[in-house]
Amino acid sequence: MTRGFFITGTDTEVGKTVATAVLLLWLKTRGENPGVMKPVECGVDPECFSASNSDARFLMETGGVEDNDVEVCPFRFKAPTSPYQAEFSEGRSVDLDSIISAFNKLKDRHSCMLVEGIGGLMVPLTSETVVADLAANLKLPLILVTRYSLGTQNHTLLTLEAARQKGLSVSGLIFNKTDPTPLSLIEQSQPALLSQWTGLPVLAEIPFIEETTVNNLSPDRIIEAGGSLNFQPFPTP
């Protein structure tokens, strides 16, 4: 199995890209040479591959990754919707074989791989496949990014049930704070409660980060801002 993770979320805008960037920088501090991939992006300008327009490009610049743009992000759609729905307005569709081929090229250049999914596990990629099927084909364990806010217990448990039904292993949870409002006592208790309920470790708690610069996403700065990082090194291959 490839050393790496498939980073998914309980929903869109939950902070998968921030979580992936934090893990990416942590891996670099451990002497790894991580590669990144965001196989599909929606709601972007396909002609503009800049960090302000593309999460894939943001991850590349954050980690100093210099791979081919098309390998890191093979499919980019303008419509802010699921890839399958975007297919109807843009006349092209996601091809899993192309994604797997690009992934195999990237993994040969790096000591480990981080692949960020699109939306949640059950977002349709094609007429027959969802994001979970892509994760299964890449043979990567999941990391699930979730929220502190009301509803997170249901969203988290539903996502884990979907992962179980698809035969996917889950390495742990990351809680990401998506706004500057102080957490309530109930919200503060979510990580411990969900870890106890699911038996999964909380790999990180990421505080709200207003400016997602490399410095602000660094492990030291995350800790200074009140977050926690409990990632574990990969076993020696």
Average pLDDT for the chain: 94
| Spatial separation of the C-alpha atoms in residues 221 and 10, rounded to whole Å | 25
Q: Which tokens belong to 200? A: 């999964």
The response to whether 105 counts as a known ligand-binding position is no
Q: If pLDDT is split at 50, 70 and 90, which confidence band does 235 have?
A: low
The response to whether 177 counts as a known ligand-binding position is yes
* pTM score, whole prediction: 0.95
pLDDT tens for residues 10-63?
Answer: 999 999 999 999 999 999 999 999 999 999 999 998 787 788 888 999 999 999
Residue 73: count of CB within 10 angstroms of its CB: 26
pLDDT tens for residues 80-117?
Answer: 999 999 988 898 899 999 999 999 999 999 999 999 99
Residue given tokens 């999941």 in the structure block: 142
| Positive or negative: CA dihedral 12, 17, 19, 24 | positive
The response to whether 18 counts as a known ligand-binding position is yes
The crossing angle, in degrees rounded to 10, of helices 190-198 and 152-165 is: 30
pLDDT above 70 coverage of the chain, percent = 98
**Residues 6+ positions from 94 with CB-CB distance below 8 Å:** 39, 40, 75, 83, 84, 87, 125, 126
pLDDT tens for residues 168-210?
Answer: 999 999 999 999 999 999 999 999 999 999 999 999 999 999 9
Active site residues: 38
CATH architecture of 4-229: 3-Layer(aba) Sandwich (3.40)
Average pLDDT over residues 133-143: 97
